[in-house]
Chain A
Amino acid sequence: MSTPLLEVRDLRKTYGERVVLDGLDLSVGAHEVVCLIGASGSGKSTLLRCVNLLESVDDGQVLLDGAEITDPRADPRDVRREIGVVFQAYNLFPHLTALDNCTLAPVRVHGVPRAEAVERARGLLDRFGLSAQADVHPDRLSGGQQQRVALVRALCTQPRLLLLDEITAALDPELVGDVLDLVRAEAEAGMTMLIATHEMAFAREVATRVAYLHRGRVLEQGPPAQVLSDPREEATRRFLRRVLPERPPSAPE
């Protein structure tokens, strides 16, 4: 078996007294789409922040392509160059237009010629129905549009791994679809993704694997049909009963 693109080994993260990640193991192979589910506070966001080195870890390792990135001697920027992130609150830069938000990193970090970066960004914005918004500042866009721009911004650097942190949690239900369509398209194009989400229906459809996080570790994982419809663990079942409107169908479609 080849080395997975991302491997998390026995990861531990605490905030003062609170243990958020408690010996978490997870691996994501190339072209896999792994959805993290679990109650709030179960460590989904913290895990993503550790993978992107926004947080320092307290024990364990994160490996990208088999190389440890949690090594203090590793340059975090080399790691982040390879990883795209989309946050729950969009986090677009309000002083830049949608287009400039998307070309900032390709031009400044990746050394892409401006014309080429603009062309690439316009192409992606076009594809996701944002061509009319390219020259507008983020505060004048709707939430759904902002989040799609944030996705395009992450994609413009052509990352090898995309981290999505509850990207639809702040959106109106009718806008969720647009954003998820975009993620679905990327999944089909073969993008490797690690997604923290509350959208069980979406996880079921797009994920190659679903991992249920409970008290800072992966309690169970497997194909979405199995984990979401016929979970092994009692804790998973209880969680799903709380988040799903009715009992999950027992047979996968």
Chain B
Amino acid sequence: MSTPTTSGAAGGTAEASRAAWTPSEHEVERRAVRRRLRRRGTLVAGVATVVGLGLLVALVVLSPGWQRVQETFLSPYHAREALPSIAQGFLLNVGMFLVAEPLILLLGTLVAVARGTTSPWLTPVRLLAVAYVDLFRGLPTLLVVFLFAFGIPALQLQGVTTSLFWLATAALVLCYGAYVAEVIRAGIDSVHPSQVASARSLALSQSQVMRHVVLPQAGRRVVPPLMNDFVSLQKDTALVASVGVFEALFAAQDYGNYNFNYTPLLVAGLFFVALTIPLARLTDWLGRRVAERERGGR
């Protein structure tokens, strides 16, 4: 036989030829070169980072007002003192975020899908969706929070909550729903028409095409911009401080006003950042996993 490889597609093939194969001298050398190039890259990255960040830190620390800033913004004592009430308040932010996020996703998806419908019966729904997006994207979020928190209780409607927490959450949901609807619509539009054609030709109904073929692909593509909106939402839960809900920012301001020290603001900021960074890494990781599975080795 002229073929030294083992035959068949069975499991034995890979092991047998791997056992028979040892890297040539040339390949060993090439690997060494690759390693060297990688090491050089790591070294450059390290030096560039240290130098770059070092310069930034030096700029701040050597500034004339640094001493003063340190006292008013970086006091460990005031940080410790304010911590419990900020943490307490932050639970409200997290709660509001957790309630609002799924509602926003649902609302945004429904509005986006409604805008893409074609049936003449659904014309009023389409118009409503367009009007909603136009209106709530244009209004400042803070203004909507005010309108909801003070306007709705003033109507004295039977059975409608007067809880500031819920009213403010509703305002955030409506504002962000409009943004998210546009993001999802862009995702839907980005799915190639051939995908819809092949799904329709399998006799899937219009809504099945949307549900099983278009939305899953659109969803994947819009994860980064959606993350943007959700991080922004996390921060905007602090807007409700303006109507007197005792969340993290309000707690920090409250402490600062009594003690003439702004350190609690930084502490509150750290809480927000500590929540968004792990979330961003998680979505990065999820996205990478999907990409690896679908694109395979090629």
> Is the pair A16, B27 in contact by a Cβ cutoff of 8 Å?
no
Q: Are B2 and A233 in contact (CB under 8 A)?
A: yes
A214 within 8 A of B: yes
B17 to A59, Cβ gap below 8 A?
Answer: no
Q: Is the CB of A216 within 8 A of B5?
A: yes
Chain A residues touching B, majority SS: strand
Rounded to whole Å, the gap between the CB of A150 and the closest CB of chain B is 17
| Complex contact A22–B5 (CB within 8 A) | yes
Name which residue of chain B comes closest to A45, CB basis.
B298
Interface centre among A215, A217, A219 (most CB of B within 10 A): A215
| Chain B positions within 8 Å of A23 at CB level | 21
Chain B interface main SS type: helix
Q: Contact at A72–B30, with CB atoms within 8 Å? A: yes
Contact assessment for B21 and A12 in the assembled complex, using a CB-CB cutoff below 8 Å: yes
In contact, B17 and A19 (Cβ under 8 angstroms): yes
- Asked whether, in the complex, the Cβ of A73 is within 8 Å of the Cβ of B33, the reply is yes
Most chain A CB inside 10 Å of its own CB: which residue of B26, B33, B37: B26
Contact of B27 among A18, A22, A59 (CB under 8 A): A59
A219 in contact with B3 (CB, 8 Å): yes
For residue A71, CB closer than 8 A to chain B, the reply is yes
Does B201 sit within 8 A of A, measured CB to CB? Answer: no
Task: State in angstroms the CA–CA spacing of A72 and B31 once bound together.
Answer: 9
The residues of B that contact A72 with a CB separation of less than 8 Å are 30, 33-34, 37
CB-CB contacts below 8 Å: A179-233 with B? 214-217, 219, 233
B26:A17 contact, CB within 8 angstroms: no
A23: nearest chain-B partner, CB-CB = B21
- A-side contacts of B278, CB under 8 Å: none
* Contacts from B to A (Cβ < 8 Å): 2-3, 5, 13-14, 17-18, 21, 23-24, 26-27, 30, 33-34, 37, 297
A–B pairs, 10, beta carbons within 8 Å: A12-B21, A12-B27, A19-B5, A22-B17, A59-B21, A59-B27, A61-B26, A217-B3, A233-B2, A235-B3
Chain A positions near chain B (C-beta within 8 angstroms): 10, 12, 15-19, 22-23, 58-61, 70-73, 214-217, 219, 233, 235
